[in-house]
Structure 1
Amino acid sequence: MIIQVKVPSPGESITEVEVSTWLVKNGDYVSTGQIIAEIDSDKATLEISAEENGIITLMVKKGERVRVGDVLCIIDTSKRNTKKHQEKIIDVQGKQKNNIEEVFSRDLKIPSPASKKILQEKNISIESIQGTGKHGRITKKDCIFYLEKEKNEISFDSNIPVTMYRPETRSPLSSLRRKLSERLVYAKNQMASLTTFNEVDMLEVFLIRKKYKDIFRKKHGVNLGFMSFFTMSCVRALQLYPDVNAMISGEEKVNFEYYDISIAISGPKGLMVPVIRNAEHLSFRGIEQEINKLSTRVHNGTISVDEMTGGTFTITNGGIFGSMLSTPIINPPQSAILGMHKIIERPIVVNGSIEIRPIMYLALSYDHRIIDGKESVGFLVSVKESIENPIKFLMGESEENISKKLEL
């Protein structure tokens, strides 16, 4: 029986995908549920599984673009698994090959295909290379070592030209990366993007986390991180400055009366921006659990298109990579994005005295077509205000209210 494996639909608006990776070869025996391929859509990478046991035949090539519903491959379920028989043949052939190499290749300088190419291009005598591979085989590494050594042996006042071997690798951009590039260029060219900066003293957040983090993790199973504080601070600031939570649609401005916060997360496939829905209704626990769930799904490749669709405002944290300051690019069609950065102890003046405090620089990039400078600065000042005094603005001013907010 022949089973056709077709391209699934990654999302409602997506009609075309790219085959980014085949994890099997023509003629391989595959098992039900085995991951056989990965496809890239404009928004996510999806895994394709074998639907039955059998011998697979690939119908499209890696890198080829196909439409939803097209046949990716066929599986012949009538053919049995001959893998064990093939392994025995390969094992016998391998032993024979090893015996032949043991007898005939000992002390012979046989170049590998990659090293052979270098030897020919650089006109290097095979006798001048010391092979370090099995049975004296000359490897690419041996050739590069020889060229480096030859360069170092030439005196600085020599007029002999030296041509170094400088390899380069070219690979096509994935569909996901191409779409991201288009969106970034669109944001740069179509929006009147400006960035305003401020700094925030993280001391109070540090003290709260130090006091409650262990009991919070024990009770809720997640860490009390910085992102919940910043998410809540942004929701409060968006409520005070509603145009920052808006977008342009044609000749209209659309103000959202809900707060779907996009969180930039770096994963194996690149930067993903999943969305925390209705963040205004979530507690510290709810936000941290949602971030943990989305981050896990990004890193194991199971994040869905729906989980990355929408969002009214974005938070990105370049500080986890060591960034001190940056101008984040707006995530269209949104109108603003908050950039967090690395926390560094700095000397600041507090009540007339110099103190060392943990300071983070903040950046807000915004679309000046609908957000004025006064609003952008006010928004960032509001975030700073909440972070520097979270007990007053985010938790209530009593131990009882803090415990209630943290659900302890």
Structure 2
Amino acid sequence: MKEIKVPELAESITEGTIAQWLVKTGDKVEKGDPVLELETDKVNVEVNADYAGIIAEILKEEGDDVEVGDVIAKVDENGEASGAADSPAEETSEQPKEESKQEEKKEEKPAAKQEEKKSDSSNIVASPAARKRARELGINLSDISSRDPLGRIRPEDVESHAKGETKSSAPKQEKKQEPKSEKTTFDKPVERVKMSRRRQTIANRLVEAQHNAAMLTTFNEVDMTAIMNLRKERKDKFVDKHGIKLGFMSFFTKAVVGALKEFPLINAEIQDNEIVLKKFYDIGIAVSTDDGLVVPVVRDADRLDFAGVEKEIADLGKKAKAKELQLADLQGGSFTITNGGIFGSLLSTPILNTPQVGILGMHSIQKRPIVMPDDSIEVRPMMYIAMSYDHRIVDGKDAVQFLVRVKQMLEDPYDLLLEG
């Protein structure tokens, strides 16, 4: 009997939730056949059979949380598919099999306790890197105290525990007491739905961003007249030449890249006591899906022309909605753009996509009366834009000037086309 285990998925992914079994007990599988779909923090991945044979037992159900290395099913390499006729020999040996199953159940009881302990550990909030390091050192996450205000365990907490450093246990005790609070009861009908792993991750990361970054937001507005006129003039030629429409996102992406070159601290991140200045421009584009928000990355946006940016965004958007994004599509962005305007948002404060230190929010285009330089009043298509930033390394002056520079380039898009 061979075991199917959760394989090593990626350095940043150590656990997941079983979204769907693609086989059932008694099914025949070949080596390499997909047996289940695993939902991780970022993407859904298929787990394949390492052996050919018959699925003898499925140990984890859909919706169960599993970690790398967990045994999720067993394969009988010498078994026959469930549709085969039972032989007399099998019938006569049925009783011994039942007895052996009972013996196996007795032997599995200690393992069940270990599994229960592992389940408790999986409920602890810890970064993937911390979980991986704890596994390498053989340390139980529940024994580690965290310095994080939210109780999230980080790699440095694991290292400190391994070195025997003593920490105050008060924060950990408070963290353990919080989940024990009674659930609110209702007199009227309600429905409780378990949060998906991705939704839990989104929730944790958003709260983490607000607690671990000194986040502020600055606002401005853009007169979209020039961009809308330019798109109207060139939309047909653009489609004929490149096979894709000229949208708004390419203008904003190119304007952001131009502004990031002038304000390099906004294209950076904090690692321990160091500021990492990124010399590349990988721009994350937030995409809303049925499973939650994902942020695929347009690589080397500074090297792409307008058509290249539009094609990349369209391709990533299709892959996101079809759940075909790979981990490589989501990792390593240096700045993010999010467009709440497509849903009708007039103004909002976007939350940082940590560890990035800047995010630009786009909003609805709305016609408003604007006082022109000659004091006349004209009706113009205006868009509010918002820039949230981490005040730990980005000063207010730089953030405001960055947003003003984005505004200037958007209001004079011909320069963007020439430079892009």
Give the counterpart letter for 1:349 in structure 2: V
Using structure 1 for the length normalisation, give the TM-score. Answer: 0.70
| Secondary structure in structure 2 of the residue aligned to 1:183 | helix
| Secondary structure in structure 2 of the residue aligned to 1:316 | strand
Give the counterpart letter for 2:263 in structure 1: Y
- Alpha carbon RMSD of aligned pairs, Å? 2.7
Q: Deviations over 1:141-167 (max 9, x none)?
A: xxxxxxxxxxxxxxxxxxxxxxx9842
Quick one: structure 1 residues 46 and 167, their matched pair in 2 at CA, closer, same or farther if it must change by over 3 Å? farther
Question: In the alignment, what sits opposite 2:391?
Answer: 368
Give the counterpart letter for 1:38 in structure 2: E
Question: In the alignment, what sits opposite 1:108?
Answer: none
Is the Cα contact below 8 Å between 1:46 and 1:301 reproduced in 2? no
Residue 290 (structure 1) aligned with residue 312 (structure 2):
yes
Question: In the alignment, what sits opposite 1:220?
Answer: 242
Is the Cα contact below 8 Å between 2:359 and 2:387 reproduced in 1? yes
Structure 2 residue corresponding to 1:337, chosen from 351, 356, 359:
359
| Secondary structure in structure 2 of the residue aligned to 1:211 | helix
Q: State the distance in 2 between where 1:378 and 1:243 align.
A: 12
Is the Cα contact below 8 Å between 1:10 and 1:305 reproduced in 2? no
Q: State the distance in 1 between where 2:232 and 2:53 align.
A: 54
Is the Cα contact below 8 Å between 2:369 and 2:379 reproduced in 1? yes
1:257 Cα deviation (Å)? 1.4
| Secondary structure in structure 2 of the residue aligned to 1:375 | helix
Residue 302 (structure 1) aligned with residue 321 (structure 2):
no
Using structure 2 for the length normalisation, give the TM-score. Answer: 0.68
Structure 1 unpaired stretches of 5+: 83-163
| Secondary structure in structure 2 of the residue aligned to 1:167 | coil
Q: Deviations over 1:258-293 (max 9, x none)?
A: 111111111232111111111111111111111112
Instruction: Return 21-30 or 247-256, whichever deviates more.
Output: 21-30
**Residues 3-14 of structure 1 mapped to structure 2, 5 A cutoff:** 5-14=4-13
Is the Cα contact below 8 Å between 2:27 and 2:82 reproduced in 1? no
Quick one: structure 1 residues 178 and 38, their matched pair in 2 at CA, closer, same or farther if it must change by over 3 Å? same
Q: State the distance in 1 between where 2:370 and 2:53 align.
A: 67
Structure 2 residue corresponding to 1:184, chosen from 206, 224, 230:
206
Question: In the alignment, what sits opposite 2:80?
Answer: 78
| Secondary structure in structure 1 of the residue aligned to 2:209 | helix
Question: In the alignment, what sits opposite 2:39?
Answer: 40
Q: State the distance in 1 between where 2:368 and 2:304 align.
A: 33
Is the Cα contact below 8 Å between 2:26 and 2:81 reproduced in 1? no
Give the counterpart letter for 1:256 in structure 2: K
Q: State the distance in 2 between where 1:369 and 1:226 align.
A: 31
Give the counterpart letter for 1:316 in structure 2: T
Question: In the alignment, what sits opposite 1:395?
Answer: 417
Structure with the greater alpha carbon radius of gyration: 1
Q: Percent identity?
A: 47
Q: Deviations over 1:330-373 (max 9, x none)?
A: 11111110000111111112242221211111000011111111
| Secondary structure in structure 1 of the residue aligned to 2:81 | coil
Question: In the alignment, what sits opposite 2:261?
Answer: 239
Residue 58 (structure 1) aligned with residue 58 (structure 2):
yes
1:383 Cα deviation (Å)? 0.6
Q: State the distance in 2 between where 1:35 and 1:313 align.
A: 35
Q: State the distance in 2 between where 1:222 and 1:31 align.
A: 42
Quick one: structure 1 residues 324 and 70, their matched pair in 2 at CA, closer, same or farther if it must change by over 3 Å? same
Structure 2 unpaired stretches of 5+: 85-185
Question: In the alignment, what sits opposite 2:278?
Answer: 256
Is the Cα contact below 8 Å between 1:279 and 1:287 reproduced in 2? yes
1:36 Cα deviation (Å)? 5.2
Q: State the distance in 2 between where 1:39 and 1:353 align.
A: 60
Q: Deviations over 1:53-76 (max 9, x none)?
A: 966742212232222243433456
Q: State the distance in 1 between where 2:68 and 2:253 align.
A: 37
1:385 Cα deviation (Å)? 0.5
Quick one: structure 1 residues 50 and 222, their matched pair in 2 at CA, closer, same or farther if it must change by over 3 Å? farther
Is the Cα contact below 8 Å between 1:54 and 1:81 reproduced in 2? no
Give the counterpart letter for 1:64 in structure 2: D
Q: State the distance in 1 between where 2:293 and 2:2 align.
A: 35
Question: In the alignment, what sits opposite 1:113?
Answer: none
| Secondary structure in structure 2 of the residue aligned to 1:195 | strand
Q: State the distance in 2 between where 1:344 and 1:55 align.
A: 59
Question: In the alignment, what sits opposite 2:216?
Answer: 194
Quick one: structure 1 residues 207 and 56, their matched pair in 2 at CA, closer, same or farther if it must change by over 3 Å? farther
1:182 Cα deviation (Å)? 1.8
Residue 384 (structure 1) aligned with residue 381 (structure 2):
no
Q: State the distance in 2 between where 1:377 and 1:18 align.
A: 42
Q: State the distance in 2 between where 1:81 and 1:322 align.
A: 55
Give the counterpart letter for 1:78 in structure 2: E
Q: State the distance in 2 between where 1:215 and 1:317 align.
A: 26
Give the counterpart letter for 2:306 in structure 1: F
Question: In the alignment, what sits opposite 1:20?
Answer: 19
Is the Cα contact below 8 Å between 2:389 and 2:399 reproduced in 1? yes
Pairs aligned (count): 315
1:43 Cα deviation (Å)? 2.2
Give the counterpart letter for 1:14 in structure 2: I
